[in-house]
Structure 1
Amino acid sequence: MDVLLRDYSDDFLAGLWLTLQLTGIGFVGAFVVGTVLAVFRISPIPPLRVAGTLYVELFRNVPLVTLLILVVYGLPYAGLNLGFYWSVILSIVAVGAAFACETLRSGINAVSTGQVEAARALGLTFAGICRELVVPQALRTVIGPIVTLFIGILLSSSLAAVVGMRELTATVAYINNREALGLTTFAVAAAIYVALSLGAAGFGSVLERRLRVLR
């Protein structure tokens, strides 16, 4: 442990920072795209519903590591080279958005039809109903699952090590290869992941209690 703190604290911090970047950008991107997809899936326009359904069914059933390899090594053959960083984020967003969409759709389905019909009677358009009524209520009812999605993206970011990015897991492997510290480095990394996950879960619980919809 002394070796880690003395010689590799900067490496740990750099790996942790990259993990947080991948997680933060990946989660925000997945949430935004997932929200759009959820609106597509409840849209009165059939092509949008079909497009949303096809997207979800495709990317919800593709392992992230498989998509990651396809994006990182396949896109350059098509003339699109995003680099490892944005390729990893694109893969995380693509898969995460499918799960975010289904999570939000479950919240949308929880909104009573009576409220929607009342909004229509008042003359609100579909876009207005989604913006003013459905999406805000849906978000407040799915905070727990959204936090779970965030934790899933946090843990999935470790797959960036597969393509050689030095996030936390890859940093741990690098240090272990140099120092042969056995399980010590991985135990430290596991403790960091646990701390981040518990912190996110705790924040989600507080937010959920404050925004709980009384029924």
Structure 2
Amino acid sequence: MGLLFEDGNFHLFAQGFLRTIELSALSALFALLLGILLAAFRVSPVPVLRAFGTGWVTVFRNTPLTLLFFAATFVLPRLDLHISSFTAAVVALSAYTGSFVCEVLRSGINTVPLGQAEAARSLGMNFGQTLGLVVLPQAARAVIAPMGSVFIALPRNSAIAGAFNVPELFSVQKTLTEKGHDIFAIFFWLALAYLVISFAVGAVFGTLERRAAVAR
């Protein structure tokens, strides 16, 4: 316990912890929105949209996250898109995680019987209405557990941001190491903090899964 409560270390830990939560929450929100859009593209009857969705997922799922951070931090400014290091981290995490969200949603969409969409179209609904009002609500129940796995991994992935000038939780270890603190104690508290975040996210998705099961 001594490590946390000497030389202002607790404040440093708290700042990093809250920054990681903020980074993860914003990235999760944008990744979810992006994933829904990409999933709609991938099941769209328009060939160009399907090709775009497939291309995005193929590229971003198979590109190392560190490389995406490098592109968001150093390449975007060369395109006159000047953003902060924090915003660049959100962009990289959202683009990467959004591709996984897309595939989880697409797998859920594939579990919905085709007759559901056909019935919606017979009532005069267009593609957007059918997807948003009929297919996605049913698919959501099937993807809660795998979606939880995607978002549990997000805070751990955000640790890369510390190498790109974002003062998040993992970057705290550099400051504490420079102060001469024991490296094992530092990583113990960091691991514990990430476990707390992971368990919290898991608990949220566990609750959603139980409620969805009751609603069936």
Aligned residues: 215
Is the 8 Å Cα contact of residues 89 and 161 (structure 2) preserved in structure 1? Answer: yes
Q: Distance in 2 between matches of 1:3 and 1:149?
A: 32
How is 1:26-175 mapped onto 2 (pairs within 5 angstroms)? 26-175=27-176
- Residue 44 of structure 2: SS of its match in structure 1? coil
Moved over 2 A (4+): 212-215
1:213 is displaced (CA, Å) by 7.7
1:100-143, Cα deviation, whole Å (9 max, x unpaired): 10010001001011111111111111111011101111112101
1:40-70, Cα deviation, whole Å (9 max, x unpaired): 1111111111111111111111111111012
Q: Distance in 1 between matches of 2:149 and 2:182?
A: 32
1:19-50, Cα deviation, whole Å (9 max, x unpaired): 00110000010000010000011111111111
Note the residue ranges of structure 2 that are not aligned, 5 or more in a row.
none
Letter in 2 for 1:177: E
1:5 aligned partner: 5
**Worse-superposed segment, 203-212 or 42-51:** 203-212
Q: Distance in 2 between matches of 1:212 and 1:47?
A: 37
Q: Distance in 2 between matches of 1:196 and 1:101?
A: 23
Q: Distance in 2 between matches of 1:186 and 1:60?
A: 29
Is the 8 Å Cα contact of residues 140 and 213 (structure 1) preserved in structure 2? Answer: no
Is the 8 Å Cα contact of residues 23 and 154 (structure 1) preserved in structure 2? Answer: yes
How is 1:187-198 mapped onto 2 (pairs within 5 angstroms)? 187-198=188-199
Q: Distance in 1 between matches of 2:180 and 2:107?
A: 48
1:77 is displaced (CA, Å) by 2.0
> Judging changes above 3 Å, is the alpha-carbon distance between structure 1 residues 213 and 102 closer, same or farther for their aligned structure 2 residues?
farther
TM-score of the aligned structures, taking structure 1 as reference length:
0.95
Letter in 2 for 1:174: T
1:199 is displaced (CA, Å) by 2.0
Letter in 2 for 1:40: F
Q: Distance in 2 between matches of 1:115 and 1:91?
A: 36
2:207 aligned partner: 206
Is the 8 Å Cα contact of residues 141 and 213 (structure 1) preserved in structure 2? Answer: no
Q: Distance in 2 between matches of 1:46 and 1:213?
A: 38
Note the residue ranges of structure 1 that are not aligned, 5 or more in a row.
none
TM-score of the aligned structures, taking structure 2 as reference length:
0.95
